[in-house]
């Protein structure tokens, strides 16, 4: 399942974070990071998934 989350995080970072933690602080932070730049959103999403 983590492989699917990582792939989704590369395509759409907030979706990968949502599947991992739901509607929490990390989800909203990831949306802000993705809007500021696509790469920071991906890095944050991968970090949240790997942290599990």
Task: Determine the Cα–Cα distance for residues 50 and 18; give it in Å rounded to an integer.
Answer: 14
Task: Determine the Cα–Cα distance for residues 28 and 24; give it in Å rounded to an integer.
Answer: 7
What pLDDT does residue 1 have?
Answer: 76
pTM of the model: 0.90
Per-residue pLDDT tens digits for 1-52: 789 999 999 999 999 999 999 999 999 999 999 999 999 999 999 999 999 7
Counting the structural domains of the chain, the total is 1
What pLDDT does residue 17 have?
Answer: 95
Domain of 45 in residue numbering reads as 2-51
21 within 8 A of 27, measured Cβ to Cβ: yes
Token duo for residue 4: 């699917």
5 within 8 A of 20, measured Cβ to Cβ: yes
């Amino acid at each position: 399942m983590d492989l699917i989350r990582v792939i989704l995080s590369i395509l759409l970072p907030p979706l990968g974070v949502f599947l991992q933690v739901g509607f929490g602080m990390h989800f909203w932070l990831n949306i802000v990071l993705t809007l500021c730049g696509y790469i920071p959103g991906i890095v944050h999403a991968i970090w949240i998934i790997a942290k599990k």
